[in-house]
Each structure stands twice: as structure tokens, then as C-alpha cells.
Structure 1
Amino acid sequence: MDFWPEFLASSWGKEFVAGGFGGTAGIVAGYPLDTLRIRQQQTNSGSSALTILRRVLATDGPAAFYRGMAAPLAAVTFQNAMVFQTYAILSRAFDPPSSPNEPPSYKGVALGGVGTGALQSVLLSPVELLKIRLQLQDTSHSKQPNKPSTCRGPVTVAKYIIRTEGVRGLYRGFTITALRDAPSHGFYFWTYEYMREQLHPGCRKNGQESLQTMLLAGGLAGVASWVCCYPLDVVKTRLQAQTPSSANPYKGIMDCLARSVRQEGYSVLWRGLGTAVARAFVVNGAVFAAYETALRCFFSNGNIQTENTIYSTD
């Protein structure tokens, strides 16, 4: 009976809810661009974003750009809460500051981000697998027997994968997800902390900055994290999109990388980057702004500083 009031009154509870607000805002703001990016990465025709946009609108309608959103949206609160908390702990553990009131060093921020990205892959990998499978559905094609009907949602797709591939099938692409997320989160948090300090000197220590700073620093952090790992994301998409019934399936990360480059050239590794960068700026600006604003609402003194750390995370 008393759990939720006590939980929401605690630092962990406030960060959990604030993380949920931030993650939800980011997904809703950027999901259509994410669907466009996934379709660009998977196609071997080299079609432009505008061409794919027109084709999807003509065949499936605007709702197709939100297909599969339930999977990441359902996990976003827990995922973001754990990302924020893990980063806060690791950023201080790797390079302890001289005082509890001092913000983490940039070295601690980068290493904490790397550790956070690696750990969150355990939760994120199956969620992204379901999201990709749903985003790539094409309702203009006839339904195949023994396959889930299109637009049924992540639960139906998850049951189908478990039935045909086993539980292990949900973690197809886990290794490449971890290889992508570990370095990208290091760049992500470092860029955010560095840019917010440059835009609003002193804000890392006092926790006070403008909404413009949150939006711009968050957007630039998102762009930096995608640019540094984008080729890995292309490989990840292709590995997670294939099924046991796929013709000539990839044998692993290196096989997927080699065959993709051999068949489509090195440019394939950057296909959809423009869409991803545009989405990253919008999404991460929204994530940071919503998260920081929520924390300011929870902490009556207007400061994001808590007992042991100053939170300024994705």
C-alpha cells in the first residue's frame, strides 16, 4: 500500500519516472524517422529517403511509420531508468571525483557511458529485434502461411520468433548491438556533458541551464553517438531483419559486413545516415529536455543534485 508513495518520494523513484518521460518523448518525436532509417538500411536498391517515404505512404499510409512502436515504448521507462542510474554510478566509479558535490570528470563520463551501453544491450537487443521486424512489414504483399498477420504487434511477432527460432532467436544480433552501444554511449554522454558546459558554463556543477541548452546539447550528443557507430548499426539491422527462412542468410557479423560491401559498395555502411542524424537531433533533444524538466518538477529546490550525484544524463 505504501510502496508507490515512498518509491516516488525517493531519488530512485524520481529518476525512474523522469527517465520514462524522457524516453517516451524521444520515441514519439523520432519514431517515423527511425522507421525510414530502418527501411533505407535494409533495401539494396539505394533508394533515397524521399522515395521510400512516398512508397510507404502510397502502399501502407502514415500509420506504417509508427508500426512496432509498442515494443520500445513498453520497455522505455525501465530501460531509461536503468540507463540513467547505471551511468550515474559508473561515471563516478571509474574516476571518483574529489568531492560528492563535484560532477563526474569527463573521463568518468566517457567510461561510464561505455559501461552503460554494454549493459543496456541485454534489454535493448530483443526490443530492437521486434521493432525492426515490425518496421519492415509490408502490408501490400500477400500474407504467407504460418506467419503472423501484419500489424498484429510485438507480442505476436515475439511468439512467432520463439516458436520458430527458440528464445535464442530474440537475441539475434546481441553481439553487434553491444559492440554498437558501448562506444556510442561513451561518445553520447561525453558530448552532452561537454557541450552543455560550453553552452552554459558552470551548469554541470549547479545543475542550472536553459531549455535551449538541454535541446541543443542533447541533439548534438545524439548526432555524435550515431556518427561514431553507424556502420555497425547497418550490419545490426541486416542481421536482425533476417529469419531462418531467409535466402542465403548471413553467417555472422563479418560475413554480413563483407557481403554487404562486396555487393553494394562501401556507401552501404552509411546508407540512411542523414535520416538517422536528423532523427538523433530531434529525439535526444526531446529526451534530455523532458528528463531534466521532469527532475526539476520532482525536486522542489529546482536543482538536480541528489545525495551522491548530479544527474545530467540521456
Structure 2
Amino acid sequence: MDFWPEFLASSWGREFVAGGVGGTAGVLAGYPLDTLRIWQQHSSKGSAFSILRRVVAREGPSALCRGMVAPLASVSFQNAIVFQTYAILSRAFSMNITANDPPSYKGVALGGIGAGVLQSLVISPVELVKIHLQLQRKTNDNINKSCCHKGPIDVTRNIFRAEGWRGIYRGLGITVLRDAPSHGVYFWTYEFMREQLHPGCRKNGQETFRTMLLAGGLAGVTSWISCYPFDVIKTRIQAQSKYSGIVDCFRRSVKQEGYNVLWRGLGTALARAFIVNGAVFTAYETALRCIYNNNDRATIQTENALNG
């Protein structure tokens, strides 16, 4: 009976719940645009609108949400790792600060890089499964119906049978190269922008919803610009096993389609990034406030009961 209050009273518990709320909000807010981004990165031609119109006409609007179960199932654990690791490392890398001071911007960047490395271990298999489901095509005449995956578990089982653990973690190296520096940029931009939009909020935590939305959205846009070519290569490596590695995928993609291929789908990714990360940080910060307020009220009620 006492587990839940004690869990929320701990730093890990607060970050786990708030991270899960933020991550879930982000997945729900931006998943259709994420699917469109994957279609663009994997396709060799066509604008975002033409690809969207073609696929939706053939498979229906539900195609935009295909594969959503995998990221939703892992989002709480993933975001708990990211935000808790970031909170610990950002303060560990900040020298000469008191417990009431926010971490330095240097600490924020280094903490974000560390969080990105750890997140890669969790997110790489999840994104592999998600990409396979997003790229799966359903035809009206059900040709090759036996090749269609039934869900994330079916995809995971088939990949493991064919390639083992190496197949499950295909793309891990490029995922680390994408996530480590981009998370440093991500958290640094968020902390810097929210302080610029609402001076003093890093210390008092009183920023408005508008500040959270704008700072989170800009953080997402900046981080995606910093890592987007890596994401294109990652999508192609995880979608197909024909590449021998990162360099091989880069060379063959550029040779066949030119350097523009490294930025294909960027507009869709940036639109999604602003929406998703605005939602993530707003939901995360709001959940933390609610948890802290509830804990404070519970503490006061306990003290009053003991004194009474």
C-alpha cells in the first residue's frame, strides 16, 4: 500500500513517471509525421505530399500509425533513463554549484551526451522494429500476405530467427552517433531558450506553458538539424540488411542518389520535432509539478496528523 507514495517521493520515481508522461505525449503528438519521415528517407523519389497521398490512398489513414505500439510500450522506461541520467550527469559535470543552483550549460551539454549514449541501447531495437512496421506495405489484393508482419513481437521474432542478436541490434553504432551529440544539443538548447524566454526560470521553475512549448520545440528542431544525415543512414541500415556498415550505406546512397539524399525528409522531421518536443517538455514539466505539489500536500497532512 505504501509503495506508490514512496516511489513518487524518490527522484527515480518522479523522473520515471514524468518521463513516461512526456514520452507518451510526444509519441501520440508526432507519430504520423514520424511515419511520413521514414517513408521519405526510404524512398528514392517523390515529395512528402505525393508519398503521403499515394500511401494513404492505397492503404488508408491508419498506415500513418502503423508500428506505434513498440515506441509506446518502451517510452516510459526510455524516458526514465534519459531524464534521470541527464539529471544526474548534468549536475556531476557542473563544478562549484550549490544544491539550489541549476546545472551549468557545460554540465547540461555533457549530461545530454551521456543520456543519449545510454538511450541508444534501448531505442535502437525499438526503432528497428518500428521502421520495419512503418515500411510494410499492405496491398488490396493481399498478394504476399504471408510476408506481412502481425505486430512488433512478430517482427522481433522473425529478425531474431534470421539474424540473431546481431540483427536485433543492427544500426546500434549509427544510433549512438546520432543520439549522443544531438542530445547534448537538445538539452542545452532547451535550458538556454527557456532562460531567455523566461529569465530566472531555471532556478525558480516558474516558466509558463508557452515557454515550455517554444523552448521544447526549438530544442527538438535544433537537435534534429545537428544529426539528420545520421538519421537517414540509420533508417536505411535498419530497413535493409544489404549494407555492410555505416560507410558502405553512406557511399552507396550518395553514389546512387546524390548528397541531397542525406537531407531527404528534413522538413517533415523538423515539423514533427517542434510539435513532439514541445509536447514532451510541457507534459514532463507539468507532471513533475503535479507530483511535487501532491507530495508537498501529503507531507503537510502527515505532519498535521502527527501534531494533532
Question: What secondary structure sits across from 2:203 in the alignment?
Answer: helix
Match for residue 28 of structure 1?
28
Is the 2:170–2:238 contact (alpha carbons within 8 Å) kept by the matching residues of 1? yes
Match for residue 221 of structure 1?
219
Whether 1:117 and 2:116 are equivalent positions in the alignment is yes
Count of residue pairs brought into register by the alignment: 295
- Structure 2 gap ranges (5+): 297-308
Match for residue 242 of structure 1?
240
The Cα of 1:100 is off from its aligned counterpart by 1.1
Letter of the structure 2 residue corresponding to residue 172 of structure 1: R
Match for residue 271 of structure 1?
264
Deviations 1:76-121 (A, max 9, x none): 0011011110001111112234211110000000011011101110
Question: What secondary structure sits across from 2:293 in the alignment?
Answer: coil
- The CA RMSD over aligned residues, in Å, is 1.6
Which aligned runs of 4 or more in structure 1 are off by greater than 4 angstroms?
Answer: none
Match for residue 38 of structure 1?
38
Richer in helix (by share) = 2
Letter of the structure 2 residue corresponding to residue 294 of structure 1: A
- Structure 1 gap ranges (5+): 244-248, 304-314
Is the 1:91–1:112 contact (alpha carbons within 8 Å) kept by the matching residues of 2? yes
1-structure distance, mates of 2:146, 2:61 = 27
Match for residue 183 of structure 1?
181
Match for residue 58 of structure 1?
57
2-structure distance, mates of 1:123, 1:143 = 34
2-structure distance, mates of 1:145, 1:53 = 22
Is the 2:19–2:79 contact (alpha carbons within 8 Å) kept by the matching residues of 1? yes
The Cα of 1:146 is off from its aligned counterpart by 6.3
The Cα of 1:145 is off from its aligned counterpart by 7.7
2-structure distance, mates of 1:18, 1:114 = 20
Which residues in structure 2 correspond to 1:149-160 (within 5 Å)?
149-150=148-149, 152-160=150-158
Letter of the structure 2 residue corresponding to residue 8 of structure 1: L
Letter of the structure 2 residue corresponding to residue 24 of structure 1: T
The Cα of 1:10 is off from its aligned counterpart by 2.5
Question: What secondary structure sits across from 1:239 in the alignment?
Answer: helix
Whether 1:258 and 2:251 are equivalent positions in the alignment is yes
What TM-score do you get using the length of structure 1 for normalisation?
Answer: 0.91
1-structure distance, mates of 2:19, 2:201 = 20
* Identical-pair percentage: 70
Is the 2:81–2:118 contact (alpha carbons within 8 Å) kept by the matching residues of 1? no
What TM-score do you get using the length of structure 2 for normalisation?
Answer: 0.92
Deviations 1:238-276 (A, max 9, x none): 000004xxxxx1111011101111110110000000000
- Structure with greater Cα Rg: 2
Whether 1:170 and 2:168 are equivalent positions in the alignment is yes
Letter of the structure 1 residue corresponding to residue 221 of structure 2: V
Is the 2:9–2:295 contact (alpha carbons within 8 Å) kept by the matching residues of 1? no
1-structure distance, mates of 2:29, 2:65 = 11
1-structure distance, mates of 2:103, 2:47 = 42
Match for residue 102 of structure 2?
103
